[in-house]
Amino acid sequence: MTKLKIIAPVLAIASLCMIITIWSITEPQAEESAELPKLLDRPEKVQLDGEWDQVQNHYAAIRKKLNQKPNDSKALIQLVSIYINEARITGEHGHYYPAALKAADRALSVQDLNSDSKFLALLYKAGVQLSLHKFHDALKTGNDALKLNQHNAQVYGVLTDAYVELGQYDRAIEMADKMISIKPDIRSYSRISYLRELHGDVDGAIEAMTYAVKAGTPGAEETAWAMNTVGDLYFKYKSVDQAKLIFEEILQIRPDYPFAVAAIAKCYEKKGMHNEAKQWYLKSIDVIPELGFYTDLAMLHKTKGETAALEDKKKEIMEMIADDVANQHNMNMEFARIYIDLFEDYNKAKEYVDIEFKDRPNNIEVNALYAEIALLKNQIPEAKNYLAKANVTQSKDPYINSLNNQLAQYN
């Protein structure tokens, strides 16, 4: 699954929440408006020592403002930031991303909206569009924001992400260079890291992401995300043992951080310790309903020959994806991956990759997935063609390398 990378756009936008003062109030929560979605109760394990109370108080204050003045653009933009942040922390993407879009569009519809507020609303909106995998829309929205402000680092982060997903890697590098020249922080370093990884510079990617961690606020969710990404890089390219130490360190700083919990499960699975892996996957699912956790556990059931458990997880996964699709999320790549791995229905998988390929034919992940399907269907000329496109950045990703090795057997 290619799930963690899609966290980066939201990281860039949600980090703007740091600019907004968290208000501490004692008034009861404001009455819900039928026009804007409500705040869902956080699972207990991600309430985090008063953080949840602060978020609820902040939300109540914003809703009170909006009840008094429905077109308060600043309050609407603050509400968008809360929705985005809660999507990250709770995994309730189907609720919060459409909510964020709705609030952003409402802010953008306010008459006489000043340029600063319009810029922020567009920036938030572009970040959500990226998270929904609507990359062309995000690029357009990001460029609209850029016309209003060429000196904000985060707009270049949004554009970097959009160009990466659309396979325009040279443009992505240009945007990332502009971003880090304006503000070398956790968000810009993380993008430099990913671009280096894409271009085969693993050591450089680890170095940049380590800078991202150092630039982050200790204990903050975005810092845990950056640490987790360092761990992922070690897991993929260096040492599973070193990766596991990093994931364990995260849990010392931010207990129950679900992506670190799931990553530890992968470490155990890599070592063939399947029972331990299963327990850690279940722990991650117990924290938030992240699709990737369910698919990883399902694959473990498949490996262990646990047919009944696998069938149960497949049903849950398909229900989760259907909910995402119903809430505006493009899930073509996820569908394709699941039909390959869990259903072994390669024709159905190809139907979804066909849609994605038409939308972004130069993206290396799309081409790699096409190549995998071609190899599975023994269509060697097609696999060779798609793999040539997947190798354009000279990525050393183990997945792409495995496809290259499979193709080499036919030469």
- The pLDDT tens digits of the residues spanning 287-313 come to 999 999 999 999 999 999 999 999 999
Residue 2's pLDDT band (boundaries 50, 70, 90)? Answer: very low
Which residues, 6 or more positions from 53, have their beta carbon under 8 angstroms from its beta carbon? none
155 pLDDT above the threshold of 60:
yes
17 pLDDT above the threshold of 50:
no
4 pLDDT above the threshold of 60:
no
If you average pLDDT over residues 224-229, what whole number do you get?
98
Residue 82's pLDDT band (boundaries 50, 70, 90)? Answer: very high
Query: What is the model's pLDDT at position 107?
Result: 96
Nearest in space to 139 (alpha carbons), one of 161, 121, 120, 119: 161
Query: What is the model's pLDDT at position 51?
Result: 84
CA dihedral 395, 397, 398, 403 (to 10 degrees): -50
Ranges of each domain in the chain: 1-183, 239-320, 331-411
Lowest model confidence (mean pLDDT) among 22-31, 267-276, 316-325 = 22-31
If you average pLDDT over residues 14-31, what whole number do you get?
36
Query: What is the model's pLDDT at position 47?
Result: 84
Q: Which two tokens stand for residue 27?
A: 């008034």
Query: What is the model's pLDDT at position 381?
Result: 97
Residue 48's pLDDT band (boundaries 50, 70, 90)? Answer: confident
DSSP string of 132-196, one letter each residue? TT-HHHHHHHHHHHHHH-SS-HHHHHHHHHHHHHTT-HHHHHHHHHHHHHH--SHHHHHHHHHHH
Which DSSP state fits 111? Answer: T
Portion of the chain with pLDDT greater than 90, in percent: 87
Question: What CATH topology corresponds to 331-411?
Answer: 1.25.40
Portion of the chain with pLDDT greater than 70, in percent: 92
Query: What is the model's pLDDT at position 135?
Result: 98
Q: Which two tokens stand for residue 392?
A: 């354009």
Query: What is the model's pLDDT at position 197?
Result: 98
Domain 239-320 grouped into CATH 1.25.40.10: yes
Query: What is the model's pLDDT at position 255?
Result: 92
Q: How far apart are CA 246 and CA 97, in angstroms?
A: 30
52-to-22, 41, 59, 72 alpha-carbon distances in Å: 11, 9, 10, 24
Examine domains 239-320 and 331-411 and report if their fold is the same.
yes
Is 293 in contact with 285 (CB distance < 8 Å)? yes
Q: Which two tokens stand for residue 285?
A: 């699912």
204 pLDDT above the threshold of 60:
yes
User: What CATH number belongs to 1-183?
Assistant: 1.25.40.10
- The pLDDT tens digits of the residues spanning 186-196 come to 999 999 999 99
- The pLDDT tens digits of the residues spanning 119-136 come to 999 999 999 999 999 999
Lowest model confidence (mean pLDDT) among 27-36, 45-54, 78-87, 350-359 = 27-36
Query: What is the model's pLDDT at position 369?
Result: 98
Residue 35's pLDDT band (boundaries 50, 70, 90)? Answer: confident
Q: How far apart are CA 169 and CA 198, in angstroms?
A: 9
Residue 20's pLDDT band (boundaries 50, 70, 90)? Answer: very low
207 pLDDT above the threshold of 60:
yes
